[in-house]
Each structure stands twice: as C-alpha cells, then as structure tokens.
Amino acid sequence: MNLSRPDLEADGWAFALELYARPGVADACLKLQNEASVDVMMLLMVAFAAVRHRILLTSAELRELDEACRPWREQIVWPLRAIRSELKIGPLPAPNNETEQFRSKVKAVELAAEQLQNQLLAERLPLRPPERNAVGPEELRSVLCNVASLFLERRGGKPVADPLSSINEIVDAATRDAR
C-alpha cells in the first residue's frame, strides 16, 4: 500500500464526514454512541479500512486501536461532549441565545478533538496489502459488530437497545455505491 500516514488521515476524515452525512447514518451513529457507548470515530475508521482499503481488522487490532485512543476519548472528547450536551438544558444561564452560541463553539472544539482522534487512529491503523477484492456487506457488518462488542463488554454486555439495526444502517450506507 503506497499511502502515507497524512494521506490516510485525510482520507479517513473525509470518508467519516461523507459517510456520517448520508441519510440515517448520523442517527445510527448517535444511537450506538448514546445507547451502547460505541466510539463513533473508531467505528468510522474501521469502516474506512474495510471499505476503502479492503482490510478487515482483527479483534486484537481493534483492541490496540481502542487502547491507543481511549485516554484521548475519555479525558478529552467525552468531557467536551458532556459540556455541550449539558448546555442544552442548563445550568443557568443556559439555555438561552448566548449559551447556544457558546454551545456551538464547544461543538466545534469537540469536532476538532474528534479530528485529532482520527489522526491518532490513522497513525495506528495497520497498513497491509488489501485482503480481498472488495469487502461485502456481511464482512463489514461483522467487523462493525466486533467494534460494538468491544464497547458493550465494558458496559457489562447490556446495551440499552439492540445495536444491530444501527450497524445495518451504517453498512447499507457505506456499501451502497459498491453494489
């Protein structure tokens, strides 16, 4: 594979933004994030490796990626997200027009933190020759379920809702052009 790490980072970020913007994907990602504690940035990077580079990451590789970005996610991304979410309802003086502008700034910083996480993931993404001609929906579904399982294990395996419907939505959107 003749792709530099900066190219991989840029391509991974572009892929994540493009996929996230497709109908139904944002809602599916947020459901996985909110109900199963799935790291959406990691999920999108794993989908990128599969769809664009035809590499299905192993469980061990998924755990390595998770361990690489876990401190950043837990110490930076999640606290920013919590602040942004809290500003929707309070404390005083929130919510009002001024705090909504502030919330928008926090949202931009949260997105920048996710972009830095994308960089971290791209730096650690295993680079190897493609494993197959194309990754089909079933293979993509399997690797994304492995990502969700990694996070569900931390929750004691008790999702609030079944993550498979959300994963199916993402798989359908990611493989739509390949069909």
* Higher per-residue pLDDT: 44 or 152: 44
My answer on whether omega of the bond before 95 falls inside 30° of 0, hence cis, is yes
With a cut of 50, say whether residue 179 has pLDDT above it. Answer: no
Local confidence band at 90 (pLDDT 50, 70, 90 cut-offs): confident
- Backbone φ and ψ for 22, nearest 5 degrees, come out as -70, 150
* Higher per-residue pLDDT: 105 or 4: 105
Query: Are 154 and 42 a contacting pair, CB within 8 Å?
Result: no
Segment 53-58 mean pLDDT: 94
Q: Tens digit of pLDDT for each residue in 6-22?
A: 899 999 999 999 999 99
Q: Which residues contact 150 (CB under 8 A, 6 or more apart)?
A: 59, 62, 63, 66
Segment 35-41 mean pLDDT: 92
Segment 65-93 mean pLDDT: 95
With a cut of 70, say whether residue 169 has pLDDT above it. Answer: yes
Integer-rounded Cα radius of gyration of the chain: 17
Domain ranges of the chain: 5-178
Classify residue 32 by burial, with Cβ atoms within 10 Å: 0-12, 13-18, 19+: buried
With a cut of 50, say whether residue 121 has pLDDT above it. Answer: yes
The pTM for the full model equals 0.92
With a cut of 60, say whether residue 50 has pLDDT above it. Answer: yes
Residue 3's pLDDT is what? 66
